[in-house]
A and B are shown apart, each in its own frame.
Chain A
Amino acid sequence: MSKWLQDNMPKIVLAPSFVAVMVFVYGFIGWTAWVSLTRSRLMPRYELDSFIQYERLATSPRFETAMVNLFIFGTLFIVIAMVLGLLLAILLDQKIRTEGALRTIYLYPMALSMIVTGTAWKWILNPGLGLEAMVQGWGFESFEFDWLVDPDMAIYTIVIAAIWQSSGFVMALFLAGLRSVDEEIIKAAQVDGIPHWRVYTAIIIPSMAPIFLSAFIVLAHLAIKSFDLVIALTGGGPGYATDLPATYMYAMAFSRGDIGQAASSAMVMMLVVFAIVVPYLYSELRVKDD
């Protein structure tokens, strides 16, 4: 008996986690997928009824806004955070004496909750008392910066706050990448008289392709999951102008009592994450097996 126990201890230790993952991750995904194919409203129902919920999503102007917002927000957030992160990393890579302190400053927002970030930016972007009022107070009476309350522009305030929060992290990733490039190659290039900026564009940056991919995955993942920042900064408003799929799902689940819509929008989010992460995970795991 004790021999059996001894031999199977690794499996016994892993078993509870295995069960937890199968139930709380995969089982729950299955439950949500199933319910997204029913007519569930306030209470879940289990009779399948084709793709009715997805048809409702497709015709819902609110969900359309949410998807368009995700596209605008996601694209701008990913592109700007990557460019800014790379720029900061390259600037910091020039043998800067205060590098440690600057790195700490650029990265600290990442330690904050999105709710804190949203609260801070909501105050800064407050048209009556924040940045707008300040610049007007300096004598630029016609200065306007009321994006927070402008339905067409509010989504960009979320982009600003999200970039402030995450670009330092991208910088840290890229900086680690820059430092891992072979010193000898760089020295050889310098000896050959290749201009400094060419060393970056022709040698260092191309060799960091895997880091670009990781940064992209992390940022895309953050963008799709963005929920707290929107809640704290705009509450999804004005109206539902800054809704994202995550806030749409939450509203359907907990304030509208529309479980079918909540489940189907969650599945759409899941599919978007799938499309981005699965090829990445697949390639990662394959490389490790070789």
Chain B
Amino acid sequence: MTDISHTRSPSMARNQSPTVKLVLRVVLYILLGLFALFYLMPLFVMITTSLKSLDEIRTGDLISLPREVTLDAWKTAWATACTGIQCEGVRPFFWNSVLIAIPAVMISTLVGALNGYVVAQWRFKGANIFFALMLFGCFIPFQVVLLPMARVLGIMGIAGTIPGLIFVHVIYGLGFTTLFFRNYYVSIPDELTKAAKVDGAGFFRIFWSIFLPLSLPIIVVTVIWQFTQIWNDFLFGVSFSQAGTQPVTVALNNIVNSTTGVKEYNVDMAAAIIAALPTLLVYVVAGKYFIRGLTAGSVKG
């Protein structure tokens, strides 16, 4: 450290010239701003288009603000737009998605928590193999289970129903929920479990009074992850539903790709925003946990 003054003089002078630095800062902020515009543009276009009348859409341009703000497209999208033969807007399908997502998120989170607790804290022969098998299940392309699942749902008598979709989402969500909780509980020293066992506490007692109270952050991460996955799902929704039980993503796609009548772009955009609102809201309110789930789901451990 003593000879800093000798080594730094030439190159520091070259790097730190104040004008160059200022110019670089300005360029940096301009670049960051342009990227922000790129990411915001589609949302901006969706919102403005949804507030325009069809006439204005035909005559105006893509990024202009609405001359006259109208909520007609929103009303149509919510209550009267046609999704195939049914013309009740996205409202019933929005509630389908709620009815699917809430139980599926709750069940898969609870079971994942118990699984993670066992795998991390009650290691027995084979627990690691179970975990590896489960982990691999997170990665399979779901196309490979679509055909047999369609048949099994039929045999179980829940094909095309909301309980059927809940069942599917719980089964294929377990991999990730187990992974989240296992990785969280693995960092809790197992002396804690051992001491509690010595004190005579049983399996559920330890879970309930020691682990669960420590779990709030990972519960939030898991619930957000599962909710986003299930709300945004399309593949299971389109494969295992029938008219009347479709989730909102399927209804949105049907509205946008229906070929009958005049194409109402403003209604399409309003419906798309309605379908996106719940997960966007979660992101805005709990973005930190959302990101943690994303990174935990990819960079494990």
Instruction: Among A96, A120, A211, A281, point to the contact of B135 (Cβ < 8 A).
Output: A281
Query: Does B208 count as interface, using CB distance less than 8 angstroms?
Result: no
Q: How far is the CB of A136 from chain B (nearest CB, A)?
A: 9
**CB-defined contacts of A133 to chain B, threshold 8 Å:** 61-62
Contact partner of B147 among A18, A98, A253, CB < 8 A? A253
A116 to B248 CA separation, bound complex (whole angstroms): 10
Complex alpha-carbon distance, A124 and B38, angstroms: 12
Q: With contacts A115-B275, A119-B268, A211-B299 known, is A225 near B144, CB below 8 A?
A: no
Map CB proximity to B onto A260-290 as digits: 1 under 8 Å, 0 otherwise: 0011011101100100010001001100100
Chain B residues closer than 8 Å to A232, beta-carbon distance: 253, 256-257
Q: How far is the CA of A117 from the CA of B231 in the complex (A)?
A: 14
Q: Min CB distance, A16 to chain B, in Å?
A: 8
| Given A134-B61, A270-B141, A262-B134 contact (CB < 8 Å) | no
> Interface size bucket, A side?
35 or more
CA gap between A94 and B21 in the complex, in Å: 12
CB distance from B132 to the nearest CB of A (A): 6
Given contacts A113-B275, A115-B249, are A32 and B148 in contact (CB under 8 A)? yes
Asked if A123 and B265 make an inter-chain contact with CB atoms under 8 angstroms apart, the answer reads yes
Q: Is the CB of B4 within 8 A of A191?
A: yes
Instruction: Return the contact of B299 from the options A25, A131, A192, A214 (Cβ within 8 A).
Output: A214
- The reply to whether A169 and B294 contact each other, CB–CB distance below 8 Å, is yes
Residues A13 and B149 in contact, CB atoms below 8 Å apart: no
The answer to whether residues A129 and B147 also contact, given A113-B249, A124-B62 and a CB cut-off of 8 A, is: no
In the assembled complex, which residues on chain A have CB atoms less than 8 Å from the CB atom of B4? 191
Interface string of A159-201 (1 = CB under 8 A from B): 0000010001100110010000000000000011111100000
For A111, A120, A285, the residue with the greatest tally of chain B CB atoms inside 10 Å of its CB is A111
- The stretch among B6-14, B66-74, B157-165, B213-221 that forms the contact with chain A is B6-14
Please determine whether A164 and B38 come into contact, CB atoms closer than 8 angstroms. Answer: yes
Residues of chain A lying within 8 A (CB to CB) of residue B232: 112-115
Interchain CB contact under 8 A, A21 and B137:
yes
Provide the bound-state CA to CA distance between A88 and B172, in Å: 33
Kindly identify which residue among B10, B43, B171, B269 contacts A193, using a CB–CB cutoff of 8 Å: B10
Residue from A24, A116, A193, A215 in contact with B276 in the complex, judged by beta carbons closer than 8 Å: A116
State the CA gap A134–B269 with chains docked (Å). Answer: 18
Instruction: Give Cα distance in the complex from A120 to B272, angstroms.
Output: 8
Q: Is A202's beta carbon under 8 Å from chain B?
A: no
Residue B133 CB within 8 A of the other chain: yes
Which residue of B has the minimal Cβ distance to A7?
A: B203
Known contacts being A111-B283, A130-B62, is A106 close to B140, with CB within 8 Å? no
On whether the beta carbons of B57 and A91 are closer than 8 Å, the reply is no
Closest to A171 in B: B35
Q: What is the number of residues of chain B that contact chain A, defined by CB distance less than 8 Å?
A: 98
List of B residues within 8 angstroms of A269 by Cβ: 141, 143-144
Q: Which residues of B, 116-174, contact A by the 8 Å Cβ criterion?
A: 118-119, 122, 124, 127, 130, 132-137, 139-149, 151-152, 171-172, 174
Q: Identify which of A55-63, A147-155, A216-224 touches chain B.
A: A216-224
Mask, B262-301, CB within 8 Å of A = 1, is: 0001001101110110011011100100110011001111
**Is the CB–CB distance between B144 and A266 below 8 Å?**
yes
B202 at interface by CB-CB < 8 Å: yes
In the assembly, what is the distance between CA of A273 and CA of B138, in Å?
11
Say yes or no for A37: interface residue by CB 8 A criterion: no
- Known interface pairs A105-B40, A113-B234. Does A25 touch B145 (Cβ–Cβ under 8 Å)? yes
Q: Give the residues in chain A near B63, CB-CB below 8 Å.
A: 134
B233 nearest CB neighbor, chain A only: A113
Asked if A206 is at the interface of the complex by the 8 Å CB criterion, the answer is no
Most chain B beta-carbon contacts within 10 A, residue among A20, A27, A91, A94: A20
CA gap between A254 and B16 in the complex, in Å? 64
Chain A residues with Cβ below 8 Å from B203 are 6, 9-10, 13
A250: interface (CB < 8 Å)? yes
* Chain A proximity of B273: nearest CB distance (Å): 8
- Give the chain A neighbours of B11 by CB distance below 8 A: 193-195
Chain A neighbourhood of B287, CB < 8 A:
104, 107
* Nearest CB of A to B85, in Å: 18
Q: Is B299 a contact partner of A119 (Cβ separation < 8 A)? A: no
| CB of A140 within 8 Å of the partner chain | no
A46 interface residue (CB < 8 Å to B): no
Q: Are B140 and A131 in contact, CB atoms less than 8 angstroms apart?
A: no
- B212 within 8 A of partner (CB): no
Could you tell me if B298 and A129 are in contact, using CB atoms closer than 8 angstroms?
Answer: no
The 9 nearest A-B residue pairs measured at CB: A193-B11, A113-B232, A10-B122, A111-B283, A228-B234, A9-B203, A266-B143, A134-B61, A28-B145
Q: Which residues of B contact A (CB under 8 A)?
A: 4, 7-8, 10-12, 15, 28-29, 31-32, 35-36, 38-43, 45-46, 49, 57-58, 61-63, 111, 114-115, 118-119, 122, 124, 127, 130, 132-137, 139-149, 151-152, 171-172, 174-175, 178, 202-204, 228, 231-235, 238-239, 249, 252-253, 256-257, 265, 268-269, 271-273, 275-276, 279-280, 282-284, 287, 290-291, 294-295, 298-301
Given A120-B42, A254-B239, 16 more A-B residue pairs with CB atoms under 8 Å apart are A13-B118, A28-B149, A32-B144, A32-B145, A106-B39, A115-B275, A119-B256, A129-B58, A134-B61, A172-B295, A193-B12, A214-B298, A214-B299, A270-B140, A270-B144, A285-B135
